[in-house]
């Protein structure tokens, strides 16, 4: 059923800017909104039946007033009086019982629709690319998932059913009024348009205030998310920004309350005007009804006039509500369009329609003239080409910001190349089944993320069906078993929010154990740049060295020992591979690598191994290999 208002009315209330953001939205939007209701049409029909019945029942006592007055009181008939009173009571009770059923059905429908919507949104957001999560504020995403979708529930339980019940009540009341006396009925209706003007004015104001308040709310959520997170708070404390953050929060909070007060007052003034009209209406009916009775000898009775006054009183509520709902309706439409805008965001990285799923993964990687940019106007990688054969390993080295992490992001398709291609076992990664690709690429990031839970839960994330033995074996290989066994709860020790109860080294070794359980064909290890103490360093080193030996791996390396363990070294600068080869050749070339070696690697390495000899003649025995430096 088309809503009595909304549609063009809703567009009439939008600012120029809003009109631009919601072009020709109404019809398509309505159809889309109703498409969410469609699966529940049976329940909706039942709700509609309840609404119709309760609307009629609610008006019955007003209509019975005429009988009570004319037949009962004026006719001095006690039996009729009691009968009509009892009937009034019974229909009122009936109306209330039906309303209980109606609200149950409404809530049920609303809950089911929001359940569908939340799940669909969650699934959709999970498909969004890394770019989406790095560019959108977490606060906005959470508001969309929680606040906006909860708004939909309100729209269905309140706005939609209110529109229907008010419209039906209004129609039934008008029909009953005209049956009694057309002159008085018309008079009663004539007063109604007087509401429209103040309502529209208030509606427009509330509309724009609501949007400002929503933006302000998003801003507050953003501030809370940033400052109330563990790392955010750490930053605030260490930079002594408490006062500045407090001022920022207080300012946004202050703006929000001013907007909230403005919004509630915008509605208040026009309610004053409405209540004046509500009182003038009955007076006019009594006056004109009296004149008709006394001067024009009309057949109208005292009971009829009472019924008309009572019914008129019953129409003010629905008219008032329907006009108020105009604002609610527009608010709801904005809510839906915001949610739909999220649903409509294209999934950037998805499975190709003809994606291939090879039977087995080897882990051969080829970068073939790869270009990449996060933002179109700022190229990051340029003409990157290299080959990694299954069983081998490459180390990527380069100054900070040169594009090392970006290179590895392209392998599990966190981003897609803008030029050239990345192939996995000879197939362009964009043509590979995404689940297959990600199953076969394991990444240990610099800043390993652990969920707030136990060590076991974090490990099982990689392989839910892993046995206790497998877990312990992985921990042993990752060199973290001693630590776990030293914990009173062992594997069931809590890691804290984001794993912050653990040291950087422990966290990284747990994430190595996690990736070992995953057992990928290609292992990518983004070595932490942050300085760990030498014991932690060597523990991690002992964990990753055997892995590099036995697996196809790509290492973003900051330490000489890691670099030496690789079969080939790629030197990246400003998004290009500027040098490649083995350590000895690269040092001899006297280029970027030599510079890095002299400033970073060698120092870190000597600190770790504390050799006394001269670097040029140093021979290091590393994992049974002898490296002549």
Residues that bind ligand ATP (CB under 6 A): 134, 374, 380, 398, 400-406, 529
Nearer to ligand ATP, 187 or 571 (CB): 571
Residues 6+ apart with CB under 8 A from 605: 559, 560, 561
Least distance (Å) from ligand ATP to the CB of residue 58? 58
CB of 409 to ligand ATP, least distance (A): 7
Tell the smallest beta-carbon distance from residue 557 to ligand ATP (Å). 10
Phi, psi of 477 (to 5 degrees): -65, -35
Smallest separation, CB 19 to ligand ATP (Å): 32
Do 583 and 564 form a contact (C-beta atoms < 8 A)?
Answer: yes
Nearest-angstrom CA–CA distance, 517 and 620: 32
User: For ligand ATP, which is the closer residue by CB, 380 or 592?
Assistant: 380
Residue 129 or 393: which CB sits closer to ligand ATP? 129
Residues 6+ apart with CB under 8 A from 129: 347, 348, 349, 414, 415
| C-alpha–C-alpha distance, residues 617 and 629, integer Å | 6
List the structure tokens of 463: 């392989």
Q: Shortest Cβ distance from residue 444 to ligand ATP (Å)?
A: 14
**Nearer CB in complex with ligand ATP: 133/343:** 133
Sign of the alpha-carbon dihedral angle for 195, 198, 203, 206: negative
**Residue in 553, 629, 567, 565 with CA at minimum distance from that of residue 597:** 629
C-beta separation of 159 from 329 below 8 A: yes
Distance (Å) of CA 237 to CA 233, 234, 244, 530: 6, 5, 11, 20
Beta strands at 625-628 and 619-622: parallel, antiparallel or unpaired: antiparallel
User: What does the alpha-carbon distance between residue 175 and residue 311 come to, in Å, rounded to a whole number?
Assistant: 10
Q: How far is the CB of 600 from ligand ATP (least distance, A)?
A: 11
Toward ligand ATP, which CB reaches closer, 485 or 529? Answer: 529
What is the nearest approach in angstroms of ligand ATP to the Cβ of residue 263? 37
- Least Å distance, CB 529 to ligand ATP, is 6
Q: How many residues does the chain have?
A: 629
Nearer to ligand ATP, 254 or 401 (CB): 401
Least separation in angstroms between CB 193 and ligand ATP: 56
Residues 6+ apart with CB under 8 A from 328: 155, 158, 159, 162
Tokens of 441: 């690429």
Q: Which is nearer to ligand ATP, 227 or 600 (CB)?
A: 600
Cβ proximity to ligand ATP: between 70 and 526 the closer is 526
To ligand ATP, the closest distance from the beta carbon of 530 in angstroms equals 11
Distance CA(308)–CA(59), nearest Å, equals 11
d(CA 477, CA 474) in angstroms, rounded, equals 5
Closest separation in Å from C-beta 228 to ligand ATP: 23
User: DSSP code of 429?
Assistant: G
Instruction: Find the shortest distance in angstroms from Cβ 454 to ligand ATP.
Output: 30
Q: Which C-beta is closer to ligand ATP: that of 397 or that of 471?
A: 397
Q: How far apart are CA 282 and CA 179, in angstroms?
A: 18
In the bound state with ligand ATP, the residue whose beta carbon lies nearer, of 165 and 406, is 406
Which CB sits closer to ligand ATP, 243 or 400?
400
Q: How far is the CB of 573 from ligand ATP (least distance, A)?
A: 9
Residue 46, Cβ density class (10 Å: 0-12 exposed, 13-18 middle, ≥19 buried): middle
Query: What is the spatial distance between Cα 388 and Cα 411, in angstroms, rounded to a whole number?
Result: 12
What is the C-alpha to C-alpha distance for residues 15 and 11, in angstroms, rounded to an integer? 9
CA distance 160 to 469: 57
Cβ proximity to ligand ATP, 375 vs 469, nearer residue: 375
In angstroms, what is the minimal distance from the CB of 370 to ligand ATP? 13
Taking the C-alpha atoms of residue 611 and residue 618, their distance in angstroms, rounded to an integer, is 8
**Residue 303 or 398 having the CB closest to ligand ATP:** 398
**Closest to ligand ATP by CB, 344 or 375:** 375
Helix (H), strand (E), coil (C) string for 212-277: HHHHHHHHHHHHHHHHCCHHHHHHHHHCCCHHHHHHHHHHHHHHHHHHHHHHHHHHHHHHHHHHHH
Q: In what order do the strands lie in the sheet with 427-428?
A: 378-388, 365-375, 419-424, 427-428
């Amino acid at each position: 059923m088309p809503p009595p208002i909304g549609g063009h009315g809703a567009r009439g209330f939008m600012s120029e800017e809003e009109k631009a953001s919601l072009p020709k939205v109404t019809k398509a939007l309505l159809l889309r909104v109703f498409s969410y209701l469609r699966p529940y049409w049976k329940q909706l029909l039942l709700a509609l039946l309840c609404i119709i019945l309760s609307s009629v029942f609610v008006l019955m006592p007003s209509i019975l007033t005429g009988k009570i007055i004319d037949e009962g009181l004026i006719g001095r008939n006690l039996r009729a009086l009691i009968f009509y009173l009892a009937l009034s009571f019974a229909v009122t009770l009936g109306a209330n019982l039906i309303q209980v059923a109606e609200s149950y059905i409404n809530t049920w429908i609303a809950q089911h629709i929001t359940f569908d919507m939340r799940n669909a949104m969650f699934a959709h957001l999970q498909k969004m690319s890394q770019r989406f999560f790095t560019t959108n504020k977490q606060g906005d995403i959470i508001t969309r998932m929680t606040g906006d979708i909860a708004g939909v529930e309100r729209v269905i339980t309140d706005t939609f059913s209110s529109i229907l019940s008010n419209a039906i009540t209004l129609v039934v009341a008008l029909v009953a009024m005209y049956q009694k006396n057309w002159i008085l009925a018309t008079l009663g209706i004539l007063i109604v348009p007087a509401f429209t003007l103040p309502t529209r004015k208030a509606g427009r104001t509330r509309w724009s205030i609501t949007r400002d308040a929503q933006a302000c709310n998003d801003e507050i959520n953003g501030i809370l998310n940033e400052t109330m997170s563990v790392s955010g708070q750490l930053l605030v404390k260490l930079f002594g920004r408490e006062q500045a953050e407090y001022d920022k929060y207080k300012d946004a909070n202050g703006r929000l309350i001013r907007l909230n007060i403005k919004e509630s007052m915008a509605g208040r003034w026009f309610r004053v005007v409405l209540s004046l009209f509500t009182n003038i209406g009955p007076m006019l009916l009594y006056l004109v009804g009296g004149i008709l009775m006394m001067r024009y000898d009309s057949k109208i009775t005292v009971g009829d006039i009472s019924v008309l006054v009572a019914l008129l009183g019953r129409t003010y509520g629905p008219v008032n509500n329907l006009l108020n709902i105009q604002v609610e309706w527009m608010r709801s439409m904005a809510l839906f369009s915001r949610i739909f805008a999220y649903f409509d965001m294209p999934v950037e990285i998805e499975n190709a329609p003809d994606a291939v799923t090879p039977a087995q993964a080897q882990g051969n990687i080829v970068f073939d003239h790869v270009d990449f940019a996060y933002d179109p106007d700022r190229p990051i990688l340029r003409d990157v080409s290299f080959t990694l054969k299954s069983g081998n390993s490459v180390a990527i080295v380069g100054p900070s910001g040169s594009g090392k992490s970006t290179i590895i992001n392209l392998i599990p398709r966190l981003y897609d190349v803008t030029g050239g291609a990345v192939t996995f076992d000879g197939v362009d990664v964009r043509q590979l089944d995404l689940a297959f690709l990600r199953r076969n690429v394991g990444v240990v990031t610099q800043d390993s993320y652990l969920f707030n839970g136990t060590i076991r839960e974090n490990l099982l994330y990689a392989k839910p069906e892993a046995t206790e033995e497998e877990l312990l074996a992985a921990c042993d290989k990752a060199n973290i078993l001693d630590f776990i066994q030293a914990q009173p709860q062992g594997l069931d020790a809590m890691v804290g929010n984001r794993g912050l109860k653990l040291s950087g080294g422990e966290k990284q070794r747990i994430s190595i154990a996690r990736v070992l359980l995953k057992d990928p064909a290609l292992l990518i290890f983004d070595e932490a740049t942050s300085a760990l103490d030498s014991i932690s360093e060597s523990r991690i080193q002992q964990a990753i060295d055997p892995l590099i030996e036995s697996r196809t791996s790509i290492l973003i390396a900051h330490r000489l020992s890691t670099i030496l363990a690789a079969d080939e070294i790629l030197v990246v600068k400003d998004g290009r591979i500027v040098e490649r080869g083995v350590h000895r050749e690269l040092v001899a070339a006297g280029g970027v690598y030599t510079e890095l070696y002299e400033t970073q690697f060698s120092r870190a390495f000597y600190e770790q191994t504390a050799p006394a000899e001269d670097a040029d003649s140093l021979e290091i025995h590393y994992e049974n290999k002898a490296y002549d430096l």
